[in-house]
Amino acid sequence: MARVERYRRPAGVPGSTLLWLVLLWPVLFAAPAEAASDEVLTVLSWGGAYERAQRAALFEPYTASTGRRVEVVQYDGGLDGLRRAVEAGEVPWDVIDMTRSEAMAACEEGLLRPLSPALLAPAPDGTPAEQDFLPGSFGRCAITHTIFATVVAYRRDAFPGKRPTTIADLFDQQQFPGPRALQRTPAVNLEWALLSYRVPREELYGLLSTRRGLNLALERLGELDEIHWWEAGDTPPRLLAEGRVVMASGYNGRFFDAMVNRRVPIEILWDGQVQEHETWTIPRGSPHPEAARDFIRFATTTERLAELARHIPYGPARHSAAVQVTTHPDSGVDMRLHIPTHPLNAERALAKDEAWYARTLGRINDYFGDWLATREGE
């Protein structure tokens, strides 16, 4: 108001016209309301079938709803790149799709922004998000959106008679001969190796905390004659499709895509599946933190999580979403039967102890790396 009182009307401009200009000035010359939607939200995710599912269920609907374009950059895990970006003050990503164990480690290092469950939408019936999400879904810097599993898949035509039924069969080269593909990481491989000795599930991580347990697991892995080590998630389905291996570890969603969308003759072995939480996080130094929080709220609604599970069989982290999962949009396959958390699949599942990995990640990686270097140097 003080600015208007000091303003002198230009000669020849009627008072009534000046009044309308003053009243309409914020409307005529303010930035367009949709200016915020011109921001590009950069999401670091995992590529392949998973990214295609996210585009259909999350990214494209979010752009349609907000006008804000989503740019996806492929993520292959690990904290080195994030650490360097945060230390340099040049973080190019707004949101990162991380496993919970990595999110816990990154949060401990101060690489992520805190996230509150208060930003999440309630269930359609009004149930608060904190009651609707699965236990353990909320970390200091991460919010779980889905549950995926690392499983073993095998070529059906490689074993026309007896087929693998337990995780111990991964290590049985007498009945199930042929090359294997395993992820180039200690995680899951160590657990499966000890399970093959019939170590009880509740004792796995206690035993792996000892040098004896680690040596037992690595000895079992060392008994395999030919291992193709993989790093990118699309590698194991490709190796199986090409017939270069007969059994492979990998993510259940990638194997589902190969079976249903590309008709690769493979079967998933659910015994010993290792379930893990997949989370949304915001890196410290995110260029658009408010837009990142807005996206996480959108992407974790009941409707979006149920839709994501229709495109790729990962279990929604919300109870209200799990009961809404139906069929695959293209094939009509009942997706509930392919989700890791379905009772038939989860009967002998192992929940990855992500807190243990967050505490021991560096030490276990070094130990595994030394063993692998020795094996490959032989």
Q: To 10 degrees, the CA torsion angle through 103, 109, 110, 114?
A: 30
Residue 106 confidence class, pLDDT cut points 50, 70, 90? very high
Q: Report helix, strand or coil for 336.
A: helix
Mean pLDDT of 204-225: 96
Integer Cα distance of 70 and 295 in angstroms: 10
Instruction: Please give the share of the chain, as a percent, with pLDDT higher than 70.
Output: 90
pTM of this structure: 0.82
Mean pLDDT of 53-69: 97
Residue 49 confidence class, pLDDT cut points 50, 70, 90? confident
In this prediction, residue 357 carries a pLDDT of: 87
Give the model confidence (pLDDT) of 321-344 as tens digits: 999 999 999 899 999 999 999 999
Give the model confidence (pLDDT) of 259-296 as tens digits: 998 999 999 999 999 999 999 999 999 999 999 999 99
In this prediction, residue 10 carries a pLDDT of: 39
Instruction: Please give the share of the chain, as a percent, with pLDDT higher than 90.
Output: 80
3-state DSSP of 307-348? HHHHHCCCEECEHHHHCCCCECCCCCCEHHHHCCCCHHHHCC
218 alpha carbon, distance to own chain's centre: 27
Integer Cα distance of 208 and 204 in angstroms: 6
- pLDDT over threshold 50, residue 16: no
Query: What tokens were used for 355?
Result: 């807190």
In this prediction, residue 309 carries a pLDDT of: 97
Query: What tokens were used for 58?
Result: 């999350």
- pLDDT over threshold 50, residue 169: yes
Give the model confidence (pLDDT) of 112-155 as tens digits: 999 999 999 999 999 999 999 999 999 999 999 999 999 999 99
199 alpha carbon, distance to own chain's centre: 28
Integer Cα distance of 347 and 66 in angstroms: 41
120 vs 17: which has the higher pLDDT: 120
Question: How many CB atoms are closer than 10 A to CB 244?
Answer: 14
In this prediction, residue 38 carries a pLDDT of: 65
Question: What's the farthest any 2 CA atoms get from each other in the chain?
Answer: 100
In this prediction, residue 37 carries a pLDDT of: 52
Mean pLDDT of 92-119: 95
Q: What is the mean pLDDT of the chain?
A: 89
- pLDDT over threshold 80, residue 25: no
